[in-house]
Amino acid sequence: MKIHASKIYTKEMFKRFQKELQKSQFFVVKSMKGCGDYLSKMYLVEKSTLPEIYRRVFFLKVSIDESYSCTCKKFEHSGMIYRHMIRYLNKKQKMMIPPDLVTMRWTINGNKVSGPLTCTPQMLGNVVESETARYSGLCKAFQGLSVVGSCSVPRYNYLMSVIEREKEYVIKSFSGEERENQINEDYESDDEEDDKEDDPLLDPPRSQTKGRPKAGRFKSGIETSSSNK
């Protein structure tokens, strides 16, 4: 099984598999009779190195079609085969990891895709009204364009010329919208200034503090001693 894992997993994931394989030796797998059905079997998995009162018990379900599920849910969380399943496979003397326990993204061939990727445009809807959303959408679109244009020098030169030409066109064609937005902003700022002049901010009213008001200032020790003399 270790040889099989070295052929399918990447280097980093193979290191993790080695750790799980090493830790699986401390677990015991016991069959639970009468708990399964005619399509699956139940197994009890626990760590044998701990005292019995501190052991955590896990239940492993194995179906006839070689599909596995454990109550620890580690495989569903990370997509990597866990020590409980490895211990069961070692007990059954399995020489290869079942295909259902191999996640494609952790394998060596995970980056190889058959045919071109299909790109679906993002449906923004009313989110386009936000300036931040528009900026984010344009950045994502230009990232894909950069990948295509950086493959060769002719592509790069062509895209740069198109970007400069379209940039000048957008600035000239939609300059009126910027002026209207600037006028609206100036009008709103003038309204705010008028509101400030109409409603000036005043100091809050003074409140009476506790205690008798002071008749004079506190005298120092030298002054009190000279007055007593």
pLDDT tens-place string over residues 55-71: 888 898 888 888 888 88
Enumerate residues 6+ apart whose C-beta is below 8 A from 30: 43, 44, 45, 46
pLDDT tens-digit map of 186-201? 555 555 555 555 567 7
Q: Alpha-carbon distance 170 to 166, whole Å?
A: 6
Per-residue pLDDT at 17 exceeds 90: yes
Position 18 scores a pLDDT of: 92
pLDDT tens-digit map of 120-174? 555 545 556 677 777 887 888 888 888 888 888 888 888 889 888 888 888 888 7
pTM: 0.47
Position 19 scores a pLDDT of: 92
Enumerate residues 6+ apart whose C-beta is below 8 A from 155: 148, 149
